[in-house]
Amino acid sequence: MTTTERNIHFGVLGASLALAVWVFGAQPRIAGPATHTDTGSRTTDERSPLSIIPAGSAFLLSVDVRALGRSPLGPLLAARLGRSAGASKLAQACGFDPLARLEQLALAIPSANLAAEEHPEDFGIVASGRFDAKEITRCASTAISARGGEPIQTRLGSFDSVRDRKASSGEIATKDGLLVVSGGSYLRELLDSAESATSLGGSVRDPRHAELRRALGPAPLLATWLLGDGWFERVAGGETNAKLSPLSALKSVSLRVNVGQAAQLLVLLDCGDDLAASRIVSLLSELRSSLDVLPLDPTLAGLAKRIAVTQAGPRLQLELELKQAELSPALDALGGP
């Protein structure tokens, strides 16, 4: 394997690990019993943030924050959030901790067809929790003013919306128990979905993501990524570099995180065919043999050597279990310089 190939492969794998750490390392904690305001803010019908996401997303993440908070690793996740997400400053600015009231969270990035993507800056976050619209809009307005912006509030259907008049990106829309953060036309699409009766329940609207999630199995954290045509050319910096790597045959990447006494990670790599999957297995084996000669943190190198890789036709399965004592050092290593 040439130096160029190795750099491309480790760059892609490193970016994927960074995404996984961001997803897993910054989940909100669960607060104690709801206050009177909290109790009153719960919606009478259980809206699933996941079911509000329209079909056609490239990336889809769902987090059952309540389940993570009840896990033995809940205190560790809460501590990670406090360090990385500025939870204390947010609580001071708002007069309460919005992150502590989250129950479910979904994040989406459209569109699955990267080559035809018209709005690469679009994203959508939908969250449900024990909060009401007035306190969220007040909190958002305070945050915008604190950074020198000019908050403006509008009414969008049954949602109260807050945005910065001086900025063009990002808008918060909320109603009791539900919060949507997005921008542009995708925000309107999310709100239309939330207003419809079919947004109730927990189903996934996109059949491709739904199929991948069934393959992963239930867990408090699931992420599915449809890579689309030409994805590797974009990451590797051109068609020539892409031809060097079997990773260009990947069609989707899926992640499941189960949290108990340990964190159990499952990654599914779906390839174009059996041969492409076999080539990626060979690549992973070669990368594993190169770990000792690379300037890699010893903690990460040790974990990488423990990843179990199995192949079933065009699908690869990667599994890793991190004990509680290993999780924090691993996140620190990945989040460091």
Q: Average pLDDT, stretch 296-309? A: 88
Over residues 191-208, mean pLDDT: 78
Q: What is the mean pLDDT of the chain?
A: 77
pLDDT over 80 (residue 270): yes
* Residue 197 scores a pLDDT above 50: yes
Q: Which two tokens stand for residue 95?
A: 């007069």
**According to the model, what pLDDT value does residue 112 have?**
54
Percentage of residues of the chain with pLDDT beyond 90:
31
DSSP state string for 213-252: HHHH---SEEEEEE--TTHHHHHHTSHHHHTT-GGGGEEE
How far the first Cα of the chain sits from its last, in Å, is: 26
d(CA 285, CA 271): 17
CA distance 254 to 267: 6
Say if CB 326 and CB 303 are below 8 A apart: yes
35-44, 62-71, 86-95, 191-200: which has the minimum mean pLDDT? 35-44
Instruction: Write b or e for each residue in 210-238: b if 16 or more Cβ atoms lie within 10 A of its Cβ, otherwise e.
Output: eebbebbeebbbbbbbbbbeebbbebbee
